[in-house]
Structure 1
């Protein structure tokens, strides 16, 4: 058995770790990493971070590896000290610089490779090797990987762990237009100008931190509060965030369950049982009851009593009312204070924690939702989840508040129908309808798209043979009620269609996969050889989770069918 892994970041590390835990050495693994370093991936390397960028998870939230983060910091004084981290000022509840965390992950990967060698498991790492295509050779039961320099590698099975992927549309074509803030070093020349940012998520915070350090500095006042001072030669500097709903991410708080109840993922037998009772569909309301309300009933019975009779929509409306009725930065300050109390008392904000658990738990069975429920999820629950479980680190929030108090950070609500018009000679026009109903068109010399990792469509998968040979298929979710589907069709929703059998479907991003992340073709046939673990390419069936938690859980599913 010869296994190929595309990508050498955290996801690949978890796959290899799972393979080693099998205790076997009767197979071979080749890893293809486009850079010269394993483990860090994009977020924790210079592709996605600079010294100012920090993790939004603490050491105790990291899935089990060879060494805990706290112990690793203690054993690597010189590396940690270069980031102003010492044994005295660090503990398992602290976040840390992303580049430092990348060093930690890289060393953990090296430990895994060393263990493989001791076991006699052959692992070959191909550094600086970019895989540009994947070909399924069904006739000989092999998979070929083609590198950018046209070398060809043959395997029995392949796992795609390529991680984050941002397509370029206008960047390098339109001056001042950035399709993402990554790699962040490209933003370091942006000084003394107003910058429009699309989005207000953690991705936007990454851009904000780099831009603010380009144009000024942070310090503490006599009361220990963080303040911001502009450089004298940057009087025009300002950041304007543009958010669909005018909301900022929630602030990190103490998690009672630092690993977000990985056992909360519905057992396949339970999913099968529930689907059998609902014509093949898994109701979103069942997952909401099972993974959210029941947890609240156990941990916060007082809050549970307040919301137990509310529908999903009514609960979201209740939670959003306070957020929408309170000015965004005033709410940010209030939630910062709440989070500080949570951390000091080591007491969770349980409804937020349970919402994070719900987000994690619903991803694996999301493919079994009806299209009606998927649309409910997209319209109702996802906006709340996107805000509440972003978990902005305290240090980042302090900087946002300092910039706001200095009059250098604004947030504009642009609604669902805003448009970005690029200008050939440079910059963009931001078109939107403001909260008074007036049409607004604002010109900005510089624009950064910070809506986070986009879910890519089927035809954007960067492995052309998978599309050309129809090895993969576009993801879709079936409607349970054709009459409801027809209302969407009649209303002009181009993502709803009727197939040749008369069934109605909702197009969702990415490709079709099964419960073990194996790709599926248009005929519904599972490909036993190709596993898709790259989150940007499976967004329709995995709507809201990535990161280390995803890597740990998904790798377990994959390895069940890999060997």
Structure 2
């Protein structure tokens, strides 16, 4: 009997895992894929309807691990009509170009179909069930049982040898949880009814930019050219429309900068050095890692290191120095200057050395996170993580131009609100009130746009796994005391004595963010897929060998 493998969720993580599994040329097996949406492959961040057509992805073709074909190759073979529908200029296709989210969704959908065709050609028995929701998963001594509800409402149970949970981002289907108060800007179609009024947006990163662009298109339009100025044209009778993005530091993200890909090797703060540090039983683990970080940064860009006095800075001091000049500047003036610099650097293929050094080190420092005690974990999340996120979560130049255009049109401001504030939604009126420094500022519409937050076991969508103790909070492990998502090992198995380690894999991003704080979409889907695909291929091969010997 062929092994039975199930994937719950049919987004890019499942796509990359299947691609990696097939790369090992496994013997035939039975594959079932369950997807709650009407089609497979796109994933929530790239789904039409969920995303406004103007929303841009912040990953270029050169960064997307190829599947059956690269994104650029796929775009070049599309008809002009389809490219127009996707908002892609046929003359601007390039490996470093940023495209609308919905265009990436269509690419992944086509690649998903190609991977399933590849599987069938190799003898895999494929069953894809869309508009089908897995409501629970139960571990038994011999198998995993999935409880399934079909599109017609019919319930059934299916048994599998291995199950991969890849349910993706967790957002409410109806984001407006009370009148005028939105827990997320998605689906973007929910923002279409937002009136022309004062809008508060908590966050200033790509998620908040998505909200700004969507609302900007509701109440006006952008006039833009790839190499020219961008202007915002408010629609008639929208004088009252104004957005305020707010965050702790009140900073805008920086524009995407030119960097060699794949990454050039690091010399000091390397994977090997970090693993040696973890194995050394160093008491001050985070501070010791920061010294490696400093040494690499000095070697990479000594002028930058000297300009901020890096030699004499501790971790907290470096965090303040890193943001100091931006925090002291008008955010839109800084954005214009940074955009001009980034544009010049792209034209000259010039890399800002200190930015590139920090970019390459974020994955190295991530190796440290599971080993930090509670105090250092909090320090890392508050002080060190924001540096890396700011450096790698740069945004397309077009996104920066749109923000500047909105600001010039008097429709967007950015506010620094620090830590000592609260958002009051307890009143009878719609929206929410920002309470800061004894003052209250009311917004008839308020949107939470801080991106996906780490989730723990209480939010895990399969209750039986919680009751069985197979899925539990990592905070309970080793008495570390902080929310770190669910307890998993390095190969994405939930840590449970009662379940065979090769039976269940969790690749659902919100529950991994505590342990893997830099999981950031497609590249992470690929990396996790390589790990799990190899394990699944080994399991299938072992099952075949056992059957042959029986």
Report the TM-score when normalising by structure 2: 0.88
When residues 519 and 262 of structure 1 are mapped into structure 2, their CA distance, relative to the original with a 3 A threshold, is farther
The one of 231, 234, 256 equivalent to 1:230 is 234
Consecutive unaligned residues in structure 2, runs of 5 or more? 540-550
The one of 343, 348, 357 equivalent to 1:345 is 348
CA distance in 1, matches of 2:299, 2:381: 28
Contact residue 458 and residue 509 of structure 1 kept, 8 A: no
The one of 518, 527, 543 equivalent to 2:493 is 518
Contact residue 181 and residue 432 of structure 2 kept, 8 A: no
CA distance in 1, matches of 2:28, 2:330: 60
The match for 1:33 is 35
The match for 2:542 is none
Displacement of 1:263 in angstroms is: 13
Q: Secondary structure of the residue that 2:240 maps to in structure 1?
A: coil
Residues 480-516 of structure 1, C-alpha deviations (whole Å, 9 max, x = no match): xxxxxxxxxxxxxxxxxxxxxxx75222242011000
Provide the aligned length of Structure 1 versus Structure 2.
527
Higher relative contact order (CA 8 A, sep 6+): 2
Displacement of 1:289 in angstroms is: 5.3
Q: Secondary structure of the residue that 1:342 maps to in structure 2?
A: helix
CA distance in 1, matches of 2:252, 2:498: 41
When residues 271 and 391 of structure 1 are mapped into structure 2, their CA distance, relative to the original with a 3 A threshold, is closer
The match for 1:204 is 208
Give matches, 1:118-517, under 5 Å.
118-137=121-140, 139-140=141-142, 142-148=143-149, 149=153, 150-167=155-172, 171-219=175-223, 224-258=228-262, 273-278=276-281, 283-285=285-287, 287-288=289-290, 292-293=293-294, 296=297, 299-303=300-304, 307=310, 310-423=313-426, 425-433=428-436, 438-476=437-475, 504-517=479-492
The match for 1:493 is none
CA distance in 2, matches of 1:534, 1:59: 24
Displacement of 1:448 in angstroms is: 0.8
The match for 1:498 is none
CA distance in 2, matches of 1:73, 1:386: 29
Residues 193-233 of structure 1, C-alpha deviations (whole Å, 9 max, x = no match): 11111111110101100101111122259x94222221121
Residues 268-287 of structure 1, C-alpha deviations (whole Å, 9 max, x = no match): x87664333116x8933455
CA distance in 2, matches of 1:260, 1:38: 35
Give matches, 1:39-118, under 5 Å.
39-46=41-48, 48-78=50-80, 79-118=82-121
When residues 172 and 424 of structure 1 are mapped into structure 2, their CA distance, relative to the original with a 3 A threshold, is farther
Contact residue 406 and residue 412 of structure 2 kept, 8 A: yes
When residues 344 and 407 of structure 1 are mapped into structure 2, their CA distance, relative to the original with a 3 A threshold, is same
Q: Which moved more, 1:308-317 or 1:332-341?
A: 308-317
Displacement of 1:423 in angstroms is: 4.2
Contact residue 282 and residue 370 of structure 1 kept, 8 A: no
CA distance in 2, matches of 1:260, 1:408: 41
CA distance in 2, matches of 1:506, 1:238: 42
Displacement of 1:181 in angstroms is: 0.6
Contact residue 432 and residue 446 of structure 2 kept, 8 A: no
CA distance in 2, matches of 1:337, 1:188: 33
The one of 510, 527, 530 equivalent to 2:504 is 530
Displacement of 1:382 in angstroms is: 2.0
Residues 276-322 of structure 1, C-alpha deviations (whole Å, 9 max, x = no match): 3116x8933455455x5565466545445663564333322221111
When residues 308 and 550 of structure 1 are mapped into structure 2, their CA distance, relative to the original with a 3 A threshold, is farther
Report the TM-score when normalising by structure 1: 0.86
CA distance in 2, matches of 1:560, 1:263: 29
Q: Secondary structure of the residue that 2:250 maps to in structure 1?
A: coil
Contact residue 133 and residue 464 of structure 1 kept, 8 A: yes
CA distance in 1, matches of 2:34, 2:267: 32
When residues 173 and 374 of structure 1 are mapped into structure 2, their CA distance, relative to the original with a 3 A threshold, is closer
CA distance in 1, matches of 2:201, 2:495: 37
CA distance in 2, matches of 1:328, 1:369: 34
CA distance in 2, matches of 1:398, 1:297: 33
Contact residue 257 and residue 342 of structure 2 kept, 8 A: yes
Q: Secondary structure of the residue that 1:465 maps to in structure 2?
A: helix
Residues 175-198 of structure 1, C-alpha deviations (whole Å, 9 max, x = no match): 111110111011012131111111
Indicate the RMSD between aligned Cα atoms, in angstroms: 2.8
Q: Which moved more, 1:238-247 or 1:353-362?
A: 353-362
Residues 456-476 of structure 1, C-alpha deviations (whole Å, 9 max, x = no match): 122111111111121112112
